[in-house]
Amino acid sequence: MRTMLKVEGLRSGYGGSEVLHGVSLEVHEDEVVSVIGPNGAGKSTLLLTIAGIVRPHEGRILYDGVDVTSLPVHERVRRGLVLCPERRRLFPEMTVGENLLAGAYLRRDREGVRRDLEKVFEIFPFIRERWNQMAGTLSGGEQQMVAIARALMSRPRLLMLDEPSVGLAPVMKVTVFEKVREIREREGIPVLVVEQDAYLAMSVSDRTYVLESGSVVLEGRSSELMSNDDVKSRYLGL
């Protein structure tokens, strides 16, 4: 299977303080990969660095075989390396439709945009009905799904999601993660998802990396990690 993302020895942080101390990971074409870890472990910093918003001071980011470490954010998005950031940031005073089309602003292929909208409606049928509703009036779960749908409108070839379930009711969390799986299976888009709910993340992902204090301390097939005693007691509360 093709490797869509290969991160090697990433060191990154803010100003003088290093948050990631040499992180390496891979995402293959046919995978949902999760990164779990406690608050402040550096999960968001990792995704922000891969997206190009935070600059690493060491290490490499290979996307689809190309070194994108020094490319600007919009160049990465144009190539399909797309981040849906922590806490849905929809434009609350704009309609659902306007928010979705904002995700396609770098695209010139109008036919393609129309086709992708149809796909988005298939995955999230409620969006068609809510097209003209102000985004700020949607429920938390609906807003999260519109944020993911908006990311899909920029035609990702690797989708990165930062804590898509944060702040949602348990049932809604499960729904959002079912959609993540569906995006992988139906659209064939690999997903790298960061999540604090370790059980949920490992239930839907093929592989998992455990990040602690800026370093990967464990990695493996999610199903195997879930039966690891250390993971059970530290992350699953079992």
* β-sheet with 3-14: strand ranges across: 17-28, 3-14, 56-63, 66-67
**Measured distance between the N- and C-terminal CA atoms of the chain, rounded to whole angstroms:** 34
The only residue of 20, 23, 42, 44 in contact with Mg ion, by rule CB under 5 A: 44
**Do residues 6 and 192 lie in contact, with contact meaning Cβ atoms separated by under 8 Å?**
no
**Interface stretch with ligand ATP, choices 40-48, 77-85, 93-101, 140-148 (CB under 6 A):** 40-48
Is 83 near ligand ATP (CB under 6 A)? Answer: no
Is 167 near ligand ATP (CB under 6 A)? Answer: no
Site for Mg ion in 68-127 (CB under 5 A): 86
What is the spatial distance between Cα 139 and Cα 126, in angstroms, rounded to a whole number? Answer: 12
The only residue of 25, 27, 32, 45 in contact with ligand ATP, by rule CB under 6 A: 45
The single-letter DSSP state of residue 135 is: G
**Interface stretch with Mg ion, choices 7-15, 42-50, 96-104, 178-186 (CB under 5 A):** 42-50
The single-letter DSSP state of residue 81 is: E
Integer CA distances (angstroms), 110 to 23, 26, 114, 116, 135, in order: 39, 33, 6, 10, 23
**Interface stretch with Mg ion, choices 3-11, 16-24, 26-34, 44-52 (CB under 5 A):** 44-52
Is 165 near ligand ATP (CB under 6 A)? Answer: no
**Interface stretch with ligand ATP, choices 4-12, 33-41, 61-69, 73-81 (CB under 6 A):** 33-41
Is 39 near ligand ATP (CB under 6 A)? Answer: yes
The string over 183-212, giving b where at least 16 C-beta atoms fall within 10 Å of a residue's C-beta and e elsewhere, is bbeebebbbbbbbbbbebbbebbbbbbbbe
Taking CB within 5 to 8 Å according to partner kind, which of ligand ATP, Mg ion, none is near residue 141?
A: none
Is 43 near ligand ATP (CB under 6 A)? Answer: yes
Integer CA distances (angstroms), 145 to 90, 113, 229, in order: 10, 18, 34
**Which residues of the chain form contacts with Mg ion (CB under 5 A)?**
43-44, 86
**Which residues of the chain form contacts with ligand ATP (CB under 6 A)?**
14, 19, 37, 39-45, 86, 196
